[in-house]
Each structure stands twice: as C-alpha cells, then as structure tokens.
Structure 1
Amino acid sequence: MSQPTPQERHEAVSLADAAVRALQNNLDISLSRHTKESRMADIVFEQSRFDPTLSVNGQFFRTVDPLERPVFGATGGLLNQITKFDQRNHAVSVDASTPLITGGNFDVNYSPARYSASPAEGFLFNPAWTGGLSFTVTQPLLKNAGIAVSTTFIKVAQNNAVVEQHIFRDRVMTVIASVEQNYWELVFARENVKVAQAALKAAEELLATNRLKAKGGVMSIVDVLQAEAAVASRVEQVLVAEKAIRDEEDQLRTILNPGEAELRQNVRLTPVDAPITYLETLSLEEAIETAIEQRPEIVQAKKHIESSELNKQFARNQLLPTLSFQGTMGLTGLGGDYSESLMRNFSGSFYNYGAGLVFSYPLGNRAAISAYTKRQLEAKNAEISLASVRHQIILGVREAVRRVQTDFKRIETTRSARILAEKQLQTEQERLKVGLSATRFVLDFQRDLSIAQGNELRAIVDYNKSLSNLARHKATTLDRYHLEIS
C-alpha cells in the first residue's frame, strides 16, 4: 500500500529573505562566528600576562632545643643540667607583583612575624613583633626590554582577530553569493517550464487541427502522426522541466539549512524577485579599485605582513644578551606588639636598599639565530602573498566584468533570435493553412522557437548570476542587501 503524498505548502521567498535565512542557519557561518570569538579570547589571554598576582603565605614554626651551655639573652648564667630552649615563630607574608609593560616586574612584599622564646632572659621584647616591607624592581635593559617587545603577542593576537573578522565576512559573502546563484537557477527552472508548456500547447493545437483536416480528407495521416510524436516529446520535456524545479527548490532549501523536520516537509518555493535585463553602469578601473579596497583577502594579507614584521622584530630582540637591572628597598620594624612594630616599620628609621646588574648570554645562541632567520623568511613570504592576492583579484575582476558584458549582449542577441523565430513560425503556420507547407516544417519552427525562448531566458538568468559574481569579486555583496557585520 503506497503512502499518501505529504500535503504541499507554498512559500513565497525573496532574494533578500533567502540571504538572511541562509546566514541565520548556515553551519559554516556558525563555525566561523565561534572561531572569531575565540580570536577575541586570544587577545584577552595575551593581555592577561600583565595581570598582577597576589599571594599570601602563613606559617607557624616551633623549635624546642636542648641546651648544654648558656645562651645569651635566654638562660642567663651557667647551666647545671640540660635546659629546654623553646622558640615559637608566627609569620605571614603578603606579596603582590605585576609585570610592567616595559618588560620588567614590580614586587611589593610585607612580612609581619611574631617571635617568642622560653626561657627568656635579656630579650628586649618577648614576644617580639617584627615587620618587613620591601619593594623590588627588575627591568631588562637589552633582551625583552621595551614596550614594543612586551606587547608583541598582544598585537599579533589583535591582528589575528581582525583576520578572522574578515574571514567571517568572506564566508558571509560566499553564502549570500551561493544563495543568489541558486535563486536565479530556480527562477530559470520555473520560467523554463512555461516555455516547455507553451511548446506543448502549440503542438497539441497543431495536432487537433491536423486531426480535423485528416478527417476532412485534406491532410494525410502522416501529418497527424508527426504531430502526435511532437506532443509526446514535448510532454517529456515538460516532465523534465518540472523535475528541474523540484531539484532547484531542494538545492535552495539546502542552502537555507532548515532543520530535518522542516526539510521533510513538501514545501514549494516561489521566487518573487524578477531578474533584471538592463545594463548596469560598469567601470573596469573602478571595479578593480573597489575590490582592492574591500576584498577581505587584501586585509588578511596586510595583517599577516604586520604580524610577520612584529614576530621578526621580536626574534631580532631575542638575539641580544640578557642584561637586567634589579633594585630593592626595604623598611623594617620591631616592637612588643603588632601596632608598635607597624609604627616603627613605617617610621623610616630602619631600612635597607641595594641595586645590581645581571648579565647572561648563551654561547653560540643558535636557537635565537635560527628563529630570526625563519621570521625573516616568513615576512618576505607575507609580502609576496599580498602581491599574489592583488594579481588574482585584478584578474578575477576583469573576467567578471567581461562576463557581465558578454551575458548582457547575449540577452540582446537571443531576444533578436527569439523574435525572428516567432516570425518564422507565424509565417510557416500561414503557409500550412493554405497548403504550401508541411507539418514537419511547422514542428521544426516550433522547436526552434522553444529553443530560442530557452536561450533568451538562460541569457537573462546568466546575466543576473554574472552580476552576483561581479559583486562577489568586488566584495560589495553585503551592500546589495544593506547588511553590516558587527
């Protein structure tokens, strides 16, 4: 038992609506959007290298030692037996450090501690509180020194984000261009059915006329058979044309990427936009300049050059020896309680400071030299790639402009051919009526007219597809629909 055919649902669709729906549902667009977002996360990751770090460390330490001799400040006089010496230390260390944009590092450390001992004779404070506050600055002077070096990978990540933004824009335009191509093919398929149906109708009318004449004895049965064969052939052409509509509808619906449930439904798409047949103003030089200015590949290539140059400068810096300056300054305090220790800590009476240089250089330094050589080659390749992209874009635009001009001329020539075919058919039909022609000649002219109509329709659709192709080469596809990528 055959299953019932799903009920058809007719849906009118404009070119702009199809483009928007394709962008909303396209899987490649979703993937590219996620990749673009990940590039933005890369920028934050590189910037996080300059985030400050805070650490807190608390310790308690107790030591009970056996004493066999006096300890100054603890046991007093001579010992006559083993004496316990009990020491307890409570310490907290708070450290905050932050990388500097100049390539150095700044560190602040505050370390209060409480110390007690038993027995205790002679200590000024027992328990005693101490406090230490220190500031340390480390700054490279050669290798890894400077804002330009320390921000290299942030700038590279920003360039990568811009590149991914234009890759995303390129994919958006590719999707829209694909929608346009399939949309016009659907328009052609629907109009081509009308051409096939008109040819079938003309053959059926000729068959009906021939049958009447054959019954009246003024036409042979051969003419009837010829007309019947033509009708059968043109029925086949209508069936093939109707199948082409279904195929093009499925192709367009696939690009719109509906869900499986929607795809299972029997939906008939009706295009509402008609193809244009007038010649748009074209300037080859202007088209090339527009493409050079707006094509995503140009921006990508330029950003690759910038990133390659940044990487080359960073690699050149890594050839230098390591020479770092380190300076430190500290304040200390002492008291019988924490507040007293804190007050003396910041009084400035007890302090320390120092400075020094650290130098190192790997003998041979082959790793840095090899990396620099590699980065130089990458920078040269990036410049060559930009030149290659520009050449390809210029050639592509030139070909696209020629195609538009050629397809428009095809419209004019195929229209003239169709008009001539109509006149020839009309003339031959008049000749057939007065017995000066034969059925097969009329059928031939009907076929020629059908072919001419199909050729004209194909030329019109190809012209609109060529305009879409030219807009894609100029990177103005989004402008046609007033779409912006945020």
Structure 2
Amino acid sequence: MPRIFSAWLLLIFLAAPTLALAEGPAARLSLHDALARGLERNFNLRIEHLNVPIGEQVVVTEQARFDPLAEARLNTRSQRTPNASALAGDDYARRRDHNAALSLSKEFHGGLDARLSLETSRLSTNSAVDILDPQYRSFLFLDLNQPLLRDFGARVNTADLRLADNRLRQARLDYLDQAQRLVEEIEVAYLDLSRTLEILQLRIEGRELARELLEANREKFEAGIVPVTEVQEAETAVAGRDEQVVFARQQVEGAAHRLRRLLAIERGDPLFLLELATDPLGEPDADWPSADEALAEALDTRPDLKRRQLEIVDRDIRLEFFANQKLPRLDLEASLGVNGLSGEERAVAFADGAAGSPNSGGYWRSLDRMSSADGYEWYTGVRLSYPLGNRAAQANHRRADLEKRQALYGLKDLENLMETEIRNALTAVERGFERVLVAERFQQLADTTLSQEMERLREGLSDTFRILDFQDNVIEARVRKTNALVDFHQGLAGLYRAMGLNLERRGIVHDPALKEMLHVQN
C-alpha cells in the first residue's frame, strides 16, 4: 500500500508540472530590437510626438498675425425720405448708393498698423441742387497708427510668437525626454523578463535535482537500503519545488505582459501569441562614469533640464511684455487720402443756363482725377490713454515676476533631483557589481559543498535532508547572482537615462533633429 501511494503521488508531481509549463512557439527578441520597436510603436510616445506638429501649427498661427489682410466690400443702399424743403421738386428725397471697396492692411513687428484702401461709389439722387447725377466718387486712403509707448517695439509685439517658438522647442525636448524614459522603462522591463526566465530555468533545474534524488531514493527503498521517510522527504521537496516553478512561471508571464504593453504588441501582431525570449544576461563590466562626470554630462545633456531652462526664458518674455503694458498708451496717428469726382451733368431748376460742373465725365474720370490728387485730405495727431490706477497691468507684471521665481525654484529642484537620481543609480550599479562578485563566490562554494555531500551520500554518510538543503543553497546562489546581475544592469540603465545618454548608449537616436535642440543657445 505505501508503494502504491508513493507511486500515485509521484505520478501527480510528474504530470502537473508538464501541464503547467507547456510552452508554445517562442520568439527571441533582442534588447536593441525591443527598444527600436518601443520607440516606433509605444502609444504614449506617439501621443507626445504629436505635440511637436501641434506646436509647429501654433507657431504658424502666431506668424500669421503679421500676414497682410486683404478685404473687399460691395454694397447697395436705397433711401426714400419725405421731403420738407421748399427747393425740392418732389415730395420725397430719393437716394441710391452703390459702393465698392478694396483694402490691404498689415501689422508690423514694431507695432505699426497700416491700412491702404481704395473706395468707389455711384450715387443717384433726385436732389434739386446737385448738378451731377449720377455722381462717381473714388477715394484712396493710407491710414497709419504707431504706438510710441505701450505695444512699441518688435520684442513686445512678437512676444506671443517667441513664446510659441519657445514652446515648440519645449515640445521637442519633452518628446526626447519621453523617449529616453521609455527606453529606460523598456530596458528595465526587458531585464525583468530576463531575470524571471533565468529564475524559471533555475527552478526547473532545482525540481529536476529533487526528482533525480526521489528516483534514487525509491530504488534504495525498494532494495531495502533506506527507510520510506527518505522517499517521502524527497517527494515533499519535489512538491515544494514544483510550487516554486509555478510561481516562477507566473512571474515570467507578468513580466512578459508588461513588456508587451510597452512595445504595443496587440492582438493581430505576430508576436502576440508567441512566448517572448530574451538574450542572455551580459557579465558585469566595471567601467562606468564617476558621480561628478555623470552629473556634468547630465547638466549639459538632459532634455528635461533644457526644458526647464526654456521655461525661464518664457517667464522672461512675459515679464518684459507686462513691463511694457504698464506704460501709458501713446499712439501716433496719421492719414493721407486723395479723391476724385465725376458725373453726368444735368440742369437744376433754380439755376440759369450757364450753370455747369468741371467734374463732368464718366466713372473712369473720377479715378483719373483721384490719381492726379484733384481732391485730398490728411490728418495727423497723437492719442493718449491711461487707466486710472493701472491695476491690471501692475498685477500682471507682479504675477509674471512670481511665475519666474517659481520657474527658478523648479530648475533648482530638478538639478537636485538629477544629482539624487545619479547617485542612487550609481549606488545600484556599484552595489550590484559587488553583489555579483559575492554571489559568484557563494555559488562556487555551494557547488563544491553539494558535490562533496553527494560523494558522502554515495558512501552512505549523508541523507536526503542534507542533500536537499545543499541543493537549495546552489539554486539560491544562482538566483542571487541573477538578481544581482539584473540589478546591476538596471542600475546602468537608470544611470545613463539620468545622464541623458541612454539613446546613444544603445545606438538609437530616435530623431536627430531633437538632439540638435540640446545645443541651441537660448
């Protein structure tokens, strides 16, 4: 009966892992390919990338403010008004106007507003005193308005344009920063998957060692060499290690799901139904920059730092603009116009036969007389306005000053955060490297001890409990080395991201145009 019970348990232990660990087709994915795919397909990065063309359109919108504006107007108006004049020959004053106008206006960077307009009209009336009916009038006007205090100068009038251009640069830096952070996140996730795959393999190897010991103990038990407790102890170890294998498989699946999300591997993708396999973990290299070197590189390269510096430029632009808005408005206004008149002569009821007009002629005659400045007008003057108290402008200026102080504090805080990130990453790298060396020594000692204990077992000087304990030491030593090795590589990933150099380190520069932004002088 004990033999039947033991065989039944062994059948369960052997069959269950086979079901749990059944694997489908696998796809080996190198770290470089994973990074390239993530940069190309990750949805968050694609969202961030769209902020760049959005910013470009905002710049175009602000540039368009200084584009010439053409306008055209065409209208007709008719009036009939009861007449009370003794000179009128009709009970109603009748009037019909046909008007057309073309104008071209432009706002200049210095603040000048200029408008050139051509207007023409045809007037028909039953007036008893007008010699010309219909009348044709043509006007050409040039209107100028130049601010002398508030809104004077190119720096003030292009403030919104400079802000838009600055924010476009910030959007590019945000995109680069997001790309660097995504590369770090993918690298960490890739290493986590490598870790879980390696630990899964170690757990499977540990279970196989327990199975081999179980088979050996069963043979010895059947030969009457060892008691049944040796078999039962080995069976218990197999069950425990089988649970470890199942848990390790769970960790692998979780790590693979995280990596698939970062790489946007969706249903329909060839990789969706495949098990992801990674490249082997590389051995540690003791060549990494010092804290001072890393910090100096970060201060020169980090895109988020460059963005914070551009935020201060934004605040300076706004501060300069609102300082100008505190001034009174003093505008120089000027207008110059020429006009011409023509029309068809007609007799008037109260005039003698000698009455006539020198402006008789057709419509084109009015344009000819306008071009010769037959009639003209001009105007020049200044306009002064100032809100009593000027509270809004002063409040805006104070707010802009406070916002600049906020930006300066934010820049300083980021510099401190960068140093902390670099030092934490260096700690992970240095201690991870030390842990790898210690784990290697521990692994060598555990391997040697297990080998010696197996020799003692063959000589009948050891037992199942000690062998299982030494096997656990060997497996745990390898797990520790794997963890230390992954932590070391993840520390390097964090260090080079904190330096702003992880794209170059991995041979991927996602958008060279964005890299140029790091060297543009403000």
Tell me if TM exceeds 0.5: yes
Match in the other structure for 2:216: 209
The range that moved more, 465-474 or 417-426, is: 465-474
Tell me by how many angstroms 1:380 deviates: 1.4
Q: Any gaps of 5 or more consecutive residues in structure 2?
A: 1-19, 343-360, 514-522
Match in the other structure for 1:129: 136
Match of 1:234 among 241, 251, 256: 241
Tell me by how many angstroms 1:85 deviates: 5.9
Give the conservation status (yes or no) of the 8 Å contact 1:67–1:82. Answer: no
Question: What per-residue deviation string (whole Å, max 9, x for no partner) do you get for residues 101-122 of structure 1?
Answer: 1112001111122234457788
Match in the other structure for 2:118: 110
Match in the other structure for 1:70: 87
Match of 1:95 among 83, 103, 122: 103
Match in the other structure for 2:379: 354
Question: What per-residue deviation string (whole Å, max 9, x for no partner) do you get for residues 386-444 of structure 1?
Answer: 11111110121111112111111111110110001001111111122223323322221
Match of 1:60 among 61, 76, 79: 76
Match of 1:23 among 39, 43, 46: 39
Tell me by how many angstroms 1:464 deviates: 1.3
For 1:120 and 1:468, locate their aligned partners in 2 and report how far apart those are by CA, in whole Å: 95
Amino acid corresponding to residue 253 of structure 2 in structure 1: R
- Mapping of residues 269-348 of structure 1, within 5 Å: 269-272=276-279, 274-335=281-342, 336-348=361-373
Question: What per-residue deviation string (whole Å, max 9, x for no partner) do you get for residues 37-74 of structure 1?
Answer: 32222222222222322222223334556475337xxx
Match in the other structure for 2:519: none
Q: CA RMSD in A?
A: 2.6
Partner secondary structure for residue 285 of structure 1:
helix
Give the conservation status (yes or no) of the 8 Å contact 1:14–1:273. Answer: no
For 2:275 and 2:93, locate their aligned partners in 1 and report how far apart those are by CA, in whole Å: 97
- Mapping of residues 133-172 of structure 1, within 5 Å: 133-172=140-179
Q: Does 1:34 align with 2:25?
A: no
Q: Any gaps of 5 or more consecutive residues in structure 1?
A: 72-80
Aligned residue-pair number? 473
Match in the other structure for 1:436: 461
Partner secondary structure for residue 277 of structure 2:
strand
Match in the other structure for 1:175: 182
Q: Does 1:12 align with 2:38?
A: no
Give the conservation status (yes or no) of the 8 Å contact 2:99–2:122. Answer: yes
Match of 2:447 among 409, 412, 422: 422
Question: What per-residue deviation string (whole Å, max 9, x for no partner) do you get for residues 447-484 of structure 1?
Answer: 11111011111111111111111122112222223222
Q: Does 1:245 align with 2:252?
A: yes
Amino acid corresponding to residue 106 of structure 1 in structure 2: A
Match of 2:492 among 433, 453, 467: 467
Partner secondary structure for residue 320 of structure 1:
coil
Aligned CA distance change for structure 1 residues 12 and 326 (closer, same or farther; 3 Å): same
Aligned CA distance change for structure 1 residues 112 and 436 (closer, same or farther; 3 Å): same
Partner secondary structure for residue 97 of structure 1:
strand
- Mapping of residues 259-270 of structure 1, within 5 Å: 259-262=266-269, 266-270=273-277
Aligned CA distance change for structure 1 residues 85 and 260 (closer, same or farther; 3 Å): same
Aligned CA distance change for structure 1 residues 450 and 87 (closer, same or farther; 3 Å): closer
Tell me by how many angstroms 1:197 deviates: 2.1
For 1:371 and 1:283, locate their aligned partners in 2 and report how far apart those are by CA, in whole Å: 46
For 1:231 and 1:100, locate their aligned partners in 2 and report how far apart those are by CA, in whole Å: 84
Give the conservation status (yes or no) of the 8 Å contact 2:27–2:271. Answer: no
Q: Does 1:481 align with 2:507?
A: yes
Match in the other structure for 1:363: 388
Normalised to the residue count of structure 2, the TM-score between the two structures is 0.84
Aligned CA distance change for structure 1 residues 267 and 420 (closer, same or farther; 3 Å): same
For 2:458 and 2:63, locate their aligned partners in 1 and report how far apart those are by CA, in whole Å: 88
Tell me by how many angstroms 1:379 deviates: 1.1
For 2:226 and 2:304, locate their aligned partners in 1 and report how far apart those are by CA, in whole Å: 69
Aligned CA distance change for structure 1 residues 329 and 273 (closer, same or farther; 3 Å): farther
For 2:292 and 2:422, locate their aligned partners in 1 and report how far apart those are by CA, in whole Å: 10
